[in-house]
Chain A
Amino acid sequence: MRNNWIYSIVGIFTISIFILSCQSNEEIEYAHYYVNGKTAYETHCQNCHGAKGEGLGLLYPPLTDTAFIAKNKNNLASIIKYGMSGELIINGQSYNGEMPAETHLSPIEITYIINYIGNSFGNKIGHYTQEQVQQDLINARN
């Protein structure tokens, strides 16, 4: 009887440790992606889109349109990898420029960047996985 109690306490304890550590693993992964994403953003995107995602006049759109980013979170990988052109409404303003393709970026670098821009400048899309990015890129190809 007493042993049963001990077993179940140990059991619950072990399970919760697993759950807790799983969560914090994901959090650690997210933090790691976000930090790397900031660096990659500074290297590849900040010149046009600005340190605060503010854009530049009507030449380069800001990344602060949270509704656009949330709605297009599955398109971000494709925008980054293959570029973008044509008319576009961001924060109620019309843009018609050309974003060059960053074809040299790997899926993991793209994942870093999406985690950064998707959770900065007012955006909150949460953790975005590399598997999802790979799927997005395949979808963009079809």
Chain B
Amino acid sequence: MMRNLLFTIAFISILALSACQSTNTDKLPILGSREPVTTEVNGETVTDTVYHSIPDFEFLNQDSLPITGKTFENSIYVADFFFTSCPSICPIMHRNLLEVYKKYKDNPEVMLLSHSIDTKYDTPSVLKSYAEKLGISGNQWQFASGTRETIYGISPEYMVFTEENDQVAGGFEHQGWFILVDKDKHIRGAYNGTDEKEVAKLMKDMDILLSEYEK
């Protein structure tokens, strides 16, 4: 509960910050913690900022193939956390993410990554059947399964709260954020995946982010 609250507060502050910065529409902010790193160049001290980035990971996708950070190295991607038997917000999130999928279908620079937090039940074959019923083919939209440690370990890196909790419907508590990640694994935006307006904003921001990579 306390952790949940802290995450929410952290998120609201980040959102507030990004709201201020978004007056400049041609570049998205980099979200998350940042550390100044001081180096000496030609006798002068230079301070650089090192931004939070998603550390490397390894999961199995819906085809039981390993996916790692490298799978996403040439694309921006949207990450979220869900589970297939989720009775509450997940259907809304994936109804919305399906619109994102349709808009960027076959764009090699855009991928989607949905992590299942039901690490016992949601095996790759369960995720495969879920993806097919949702109408997804190919591997542009990856459905990741992992161990409890790896899945629950990666979610704070995306600043998303997840927890196994018997008290809530379905048995898992999680937030419905869509996290926009750039090709350098920096977080560039966070959007409420249950809110159509925010998802529309996500798609606008994806276009802005993609234009950063245009030569």
Residues of A within 8 A of B (CB): 47-48, 50, 56-60, 97-98, 100
Contact = CB atoms under 8 A, between A and B. Distances in A.
B interface majority secondary structure: helix
Nearest to A50: B95
A109 to B, nearest CB: 17
B88 A56 contact: no
Interface in B57-93: 85, 87-89, 91-92
Contacts of A98: 85
A56 B94 contact: yes
A19 B86 CA distance: 49
28 contacts: A47-B87, A47-B88, A47-B89, A47-B91, A47-B92, A48-B87, A48-B91, A50-B95, A56-B91, A56-B94, A56-B95, A56-B98, A57-B98, A57-B133, A57-B134, A57-B135, A58-B132, A58-B134, A58-B135, A59-B91, A59-B130, A59-B133, A59-B134, A60-B91, A97-B133, A98-B85, A100-B87, A100-B169
Interface string B78-121: 00000001011101101100100000000000000000000000
A60 B98 CA distance: 14
B172 to A, nearest CB: 14
B92 A58 contact: no
A96 to B, nearest CB: 9
A5 B189 CA distance: 81
A59 B83 CA distance: 13
Contacts of B98: 56-57
B80 to A, nearest CB: 15
Contacts of A50: 95
Given A50-B95, A59-B91, A97-B133, 6 more contacts: A47-B88, A57-B133, A57-B134, A58-B132, A58-B133, A59-B130
A59 B132 CA distance: 9
Given A47-B92, A50-B95, A56 B87 contact: no
Interface in B121-169: 130, 132-135, 169
B134 A56 contact: yes
Between B85, B92, B94, B132, the greatest number of chain A beta carbons within 10 A of the residue's beta carbon is seen for B92
Nearest to A99: B87
A25 to B, nearest CB: 37
B194 to A, nearest CB: 8
Contacts of B133: 57-59, 97
A93 B18 CA distance: 44
Contacts of A97: 133
A64 to B, nearest CB: 16
Nearest 7 pairs of A and B residues by beta carbon: A58-B133, A57-B134, A59-B133, A57-B135, A47-B91, A48-B91, A47-B92
Contacts of B88: 47
Contacts of A56: 91, 94-95, 98, 134
Nearest to B169: A100
A59 B133 CA distance: 5
